[in-house]
Structure formats: structure tokens, C-alpha cells
Structure 1
Amino acid sequence: MNKTDRLLAIVLELQGRKVVRAEDLAALFETSVRTIYRDIQAISEAGVPIIGTTGTGYSLMEGYFLPPISFTIEEAVTLLIGTDFIELRFDDDYRDRAKAARRKIEATLSDGVRNESSRIRKALRLLAPGRQEALSNERDNLDKIRRAILDGLKIRFHYLKKNTDSTGNHHSDRTVAPYGLVLVEGSWMLVAYCDIRHDIRHFRLARMTELVELEERFELPVHFDLREYTPPDDRHLRVHLRFNHDLADKVKESNYHYIEEMKEHQAGLDVVLRVRQLDELMQWVLGWGAGVIVLEPESFRNKIREEARKISERY
């Protein structure tokens, strides 16, 4: 990073934080503290009102904002692709805001940057999922849940849990405190404290119906941070499969989320998966037909064998 870029980056750091120490800036920009002292002096001489307090750090004078800055082509493309993504996967409110943000971003670009970023964006395309009905339901729920999170209010909904065994689907009514929303493999998930389970649970928005915002308030636990939250891993069952060589590339490209290990050798492609229940893999394994064999566990081999027998009887 050259000096000019570093000076601008320092001002942006000061604008985004109340107080910043010279040592922290030096570590961030991989330079010496003495260099940061010189940079701060240069920024001050340029007219930026910086306040320095011994033993505390540097801060910008209250009310100061950095004037509009220019974007590089790469930065402009990144921001504009971000607005495209929000239009595809967020609710109508944020879709409108994304369109407004895109107009503002494009208005700040020079003609050259605008034309070049437009040319690059024409070579990139984001496609919405084909599940239009589910996607519409997901967006409606996303809007309601997002507002409930901002208002600090609990929600109630009817939830469909798709069981993979012979018991069929399970329906239940849930009242939860919505902690946050996560986009996982193209589907929105709600992380919430469930009043029934008395613990944090995860819910797919596409499986929610009759969702309503309640008048009951909740407070987010002070120790909870969605950015650092890691759900407990309860996938304790190990499954070992072997695929024919002609399927190896397709299996690798599937990016199946249960896969933990893959190793190709003379006999084929060995794949190790971990799941909560063996039935979670049933449809995926059967979808590969005779091109895959279950090596272990034996109980899953028997399940596949029995399902194949039933299929054969139907034909």
C-alpha cells in the first residue's frame, strides 16, 4: 500500500471508530508506529481535524465527515454486484433500497469507470433459485422476521419439519425469540431461542407458515454474537461410500454439505460423510444409482438394499 492510499485508509479508520491507537494502526497497515505519527501529522496538515490524546489514541473531531471519494473499477463492480445479490435474495424493502443504492453509486462514478464497470457486469450474472413459490414465501417471512428482530419482539409460526423416515412430515407451532438470520447454501435460516425446547434452534424460512409478530418483547443475551455463533455439531454417524470413476467429477462438483473426506484411487472415489440420521442420505445415495456402493455401516447397506428391492417391485 502506497502512502496516499494509507493516509486515506487511516482517515476511514478514524471515521469508523471513536478512538484508534497508533500501535493498532501500525499493526493494521504493517508499518512502524513512527510512520503512523508522520502520517497523522500529514493528515492534520491537509486540514483533517484529528484530536490526539496521550495514552488513549487519535479520534476525529465530532461532526467531521470525509468528502465523497472515488471508486476504482473493481470497487464499483463489487458494490454493484452486492446490490444485485440483495435484489435476488432479500425482501422487497431491501430490494428497493438496493436499487436506490445502485443509482447513487453509479451517480458518483466517472464516465470511464461507469462504462468499464458496466461492461464487466454484463459478463457476470446471478441467477435466482428455481423454487419461485418457496422463494416468495421465504421473502415474505424474511421481511417479517427482520422487522421483529429490529423491534425486539417474539414471533409465532407454524413449522413443517420434513422427516426422512417413514413417519412422514411433522407439523408444530413455535414461539421463538428471533436472534438472527443466516443465508446457508442458498436458503435463509432463522437462529432463534425456542420457548418449547428452551434452547437455541434453527428454522428454514421456506418451511414457515402463518408467521405473526407478537407483542411479547425479548432481549438478546449479552454474550450472543451471531458472527461468532457456532451451532453444536451433532452429526455423529459416519458413512463410507465408494463411487465409480465415471462419477467422480460429478460427486466432487456436487459440494454436498455432509461430505467430509474424498480420496480417489484405483478402485474408485471413496467419500466419507457424517450425518445425524442415516435416512438423511437415502435419497442422495439412491440418486447415483448403481454407480455407488455403501461400504459402511452395514445397517445403511441394508437400508439401501431394502429400498432398491421396493423400487424393483414397483417396476
Structure 2
Amino acid sequence: MNKTERQFAIMLELQRSKVLRAEDLAAHFETSVRTIYRDMQALSEAGVPILGSPGHGYSLMEGYFLPPIGFSAEEAVALLMGTDMIEQRLDGDYKSAARAARSKIEAILPEPIREASAIVRETMQILHPGGQGENELGQVRGAILERRKIRMLYLKKIPDSDGKRMNERIVAPYGLVLVQGNWIMIARCDLRQEVRHFRLSRMRDVTVLEERYSLPHGFKLSQYRPPDDRKLHVMIRANPEMTDKIAETAGFYIEAAEQRERSLLVQFRVRQPEELLPHVLSWGGDVEVLEPESFRNRIREEAEKMLKRY
């Protein structure tokens, strides 16, 4: 970044952040505080109304706005693709906002840039099935913003010991994360008394409660990393030709893989062996579960049920 680009970027930062210290700007632009002082002097001499307050930092005079900013074709594509994704991935309010934003962006783009960005966008497409948990997404998003708890019925992937898959939960939602095309709610569960992950597509009868909650001190969704509680191991032997398919469909669970002369040994690490059940069944006769014995027996039982049907 040259001097002119940096000074323009400084104005953008001041317009966005209102007040910034020279030290903060130096760290952001990876330069020295003295360089920032010189940049501020140059901007002031160029007529930009910069206010400096000792001990507080720099700011732009109230009411001063930068002139309209031009976009390159690549920048326009990034913005327009962003509105496409928001329209497909978020709920109704944001769908409308994304369409309105896209219209405004396209309206202010010069004709050559608009045409160039249209050509690039024709070569890329964002596909999303839509309709999955859209109502729940809006409710959860509103509850997070208002810091209100949620009551819901949740369909578990694996049944409890008593065979039940659906149970009621009251949770304090901390945030939403889009993982492999699925919205996941990060929330503290009153029943389990710990932070849990809930897939929106499995949530039913969602109700936003009047009861409020507070985020734990220092909690930041961007820094949150779930604990890895996969403590059980599953070993399978597979046809080597299945290597790519196993990696594509169950790569998250793979702990180690060893290529033998005529087979592939794969070790998985899971919370419960049943997490691998649909994957192993989909691989058919090209794999064999070696351990644990209980999971090997489970696969045999499922295979016998299928055989009876056919």
C-alpha cells in the first residue's frame, strides 16, 4: 500500500470508527506512529477536516463525508455476490434488504463496470436449497439481538437411551454459525447446563421467551471453539478404491488411515459409533467394521433388516 492509498484508507477508517488513536492506526496499517502523524498532517493540509484530541485520538469533523467511492469490477462482484448469498441464506428481513442493496449498488455502477461484473457473475453461482429452518432463523436471530431465551422441541440425531428423539429445551442463544450449508445455533442449554450446538433444521415449535440472559464475560463468537469430545474409536477395513469416498463423506471423523497391500485401514474418532452408521451403510460391502464389537453387531443387525425387506 503506497502513501496515497494509506491516507485514503485512514479517512475511511475515521469515517467508520469516529475516533482512533495514532497507535491504533499504526498497528492497523503496519507502519510507525510517526508515519501516521505525517499522514494526518498531509490530510489536514489537503483540506480534510481532521480533529486531534490529546489522549483520545483523531476524528473527522462532524458532518464531513467522503465523496462517493468507485468500485473495480472485482470489488463490485464481491459486493453483488455477497447480496446473492445473503438473499439465499438469511431470513425474510435480510432477503428484502439484500435485494434493495443489490439494486442500489447496480444503479451507481458505471456501465462498463456493471457489464464486466455481470459477465463475471455469470461464471459463478451460489446454490442453496432454501426453506430449511428459515422461520426459525428469523426467530433465533431476533432472540440473540434482544438477549432472550428460546423454548423449543429439538429432534436429536441419535435417540436417548429410552428411545426418545424429541425433547423440550430452553436455551440462551449466543450466536449462529453456517457450517457446510447448515445453520447451527450456539446456545447454553438449561437442561444440560452447558454450551451446546443445535441445528436449526431440527428445531420445532420455537418460542422466544420474555426471560433474558447475559453473555458470559469475554465470550466472542468469532473466537469460540467447541471442545472436541470425540473420545470413542471405530476401526474399519475398506476396499482401497473407497479412499476418496470415505474421505469426502466422513472426513471429519477420520483419526488415521493406513494403506495396506489390498485394503485400507481407517480409524475414526466419534462421540458415539452411531454417528457413523449411515455412512458405513452407504459404503455397502466395500467396508467391514473391525471394532468395537458392539458397533460391528449393530451393522450386522441393520444388514439383516435390509435383507428381510429384499
On whether the aligned pair clears a TM of 0.5, the verdict is yes
- Letter paired with 1:212: T
Counterpart CA distance in 1 for 2:19 and 2:86 is 32
**Percent identity over paired residues:** 57
Q: Secondary structure at the match of 2:222?
A: coil
Instruction: Provide the residue aligned with 1:146 in structure 2.
Output: 141
Structure-2 change in CA distance of 1:247 and 1:154 (3 Å) = same
Work out which of the residue numbers 169, 178, 190 in structure 2 matches 1:195. Answer: 190
Q: Secondary structure at the match of 1:235?
A: coil
Structure-2 change in CA distance of 1:242 and 1:48 (3 Å) = farther
Work out which of the residue numbers 208, 213, 217 in structure 2 matches 1:213. Answer: 208
- Letter paired with 2:32: S
1:6 equivalenced with 2:6 (yes/no): yes
**Aligned-residue CA RMSD (Å):** 2.5
Instruction: Provide the residue aligned with 2:48 in structure 1.
Output: 48
Structure-2 change in CA distance of 1:122 and 1:137 (3 Å) = closer
Structure-2 change in CA distance of 1:108 and 1:45 (3 Å) = farther
Runs of 4+ in 1 over 6 A off after TM superposition: none
Q: Is residue 162–residue 168 contact of structure 1 (8 Å, CA) maintained in 2?
A: no
Structure-2 change in CA distance of 1:242 and 1:165 (3 Å) = farther
- The two structures have a TM-score, normalised by structure 2, of 0.88
Q: Alpha-carbon deviation of 1:267? A: 4.1
Instruction: Provide the residue aligned with 1:93 in structure 2.
Output: 93
Q: Is residue 162–residue 169 contact of structure 1 (8 Å, CA) maintained in 2?
A: no
Structure-2 change in CA distance of 1:236 and 1:288 (3 Å) = same
Equivalent pairs counted in the alignment come to 310
> Which range is displaced more, 150-159 or 261-270?
261-270
Q: Alpha-carbon deviation of 1:181? A: 1.4
Q: Alpha-carbon deviation of 1:214? A: 2.0
Work out which of the residue numbers 235, 247, 252 in structure 2 matches 1:257. Answer: 252
Counterpart CA distance in 1 for 2:218 and 2:113 is 44
Counterpart CA distance in 2 for 1:310 and 1:213 is 42
- Letter paired with 1:73: A
Q: Alpha-carbon deviation of 1:238? A: 2.3
Counterpart CA distance in 1 for 2:198 and 2:131 is 17
Q: Is residue 190–residue 205 contact of structure 1 (8 Å, CA) maintained in 2?
A: yes
Deviations along 1:93-148, one digit per CA (max 9) or x if unpaired, are 1100000111111122111111100110011111113xxxxx53500111112122
- The two structures have a TM-score, normalised by structure 1, of 0.87
Q: Secondary structure at the match of 1:47?
A: coil
Instruction: Provide the residue aligned with 1:67 in structure 2.
Output: 67
Listed as ranges, the matches of 1:11-22 within 5 Å are: 11-22=11-22
Q: Alpha-carbon deviation of 1:225? A: 1.6
Q: Is residue 155–residue 176 contact of structure 1 (8 Å, CA) maintained in 2?
A: yes
Instruction: Provide the residue aligned with 2:78 in structure 1.
Output: 78
